[in-house]
Amino acid sequence: MTLATCFEFETGTVIVMTSPDPRQPGAYFALTEAVSLLQHQVEQHLRTEGDLSYVQFQLLTRLAAADGRLTMTELADGVVYSRSGLTYQAGLLEKAGLITRRPSPDDERATLVTITPKGAALVERVLPGHIQVVQRLLFESLSDADVHHLGDIMTRVRDHMRSQPPRSAAPRKRRTAG
């Protein structure tokens, strides 16, 4: 079954979208809006609590949770971040003594990133408050069944998108023959 959804603008123009479920636009807009609001609050907390940006926090937690060392590319793909941006952030984190970078023994090109004890300590200090904020903003209005559904749904969506080739696999610009 396919239903039509209409977008009517004040200019008088109407766009008719056919989508399998008329609830899709609403779900999508609510999703992005809620996540934006949540991220903004989380950023405030991390900044005041641990002097960290959201990206830096994500990098550190990824590293802390990783069983071994991660390469720059793995880290960048993990947090959905540009590789040049990661170079910049890794520089900051290394200067702050929170991570270490050293060349991989297997591949001379690769850089292995490790979290330092200081970095781990920072994560441990900030994480409880972080989870509290998320708890208060995201989960407070949800039932256990809701949480279950949400986790199930988003895991499926994430895996679906992860099955597409990652960011680092994007075709690189061909060098101009000259």
Partner DNA sequence: GTAATCTGCTTCGAATTCGAAGCACAGCGA
Partner DNA sequence: TCGCTGTGCTTCGAATTCGAAGCAGATTAC
82 binds DNA (CB under 7 A): yes
Element (H, E) at 17: strand 14-19
Task: Read off the amino acid at residue 46.
Answer: L
Per DSSP, the three-state class of 147 is helix
C-beta of 10 vs 106, nearer to a copy of itself: 10
86 binds, among DNA, a copy of itself, none (CB under 5 to 8 A by kind): DNA
Distances (CA, A) of 15 to 3, 7, 88, 178: 14, 5, 43, 48
Rounded Cα gap, residues 91 and 36, in angstroms: 27
Residues 33-72 that bind DNA (CB under 7 A): 44, 53, 55, 71-72
- State the binding string over 148-177 for DNA (x if CB under 7 A, else -): --------------------x---xxxx--
Per DSSP, the three-state class of 150 is helix
CB of 178: closest distance to a copy of itself in angstroms?
26
DSSP 168: G
102 binds a copy of itself (CB under 8 A): no
Binding-site size for DNA (CB under 7 A) equals 32
Residues that bind DNA in the complex, under the rule CB under 7 A: 44, 53, 55, 71-74, 81-92, 101, 104, 107-112, 168, 172-175
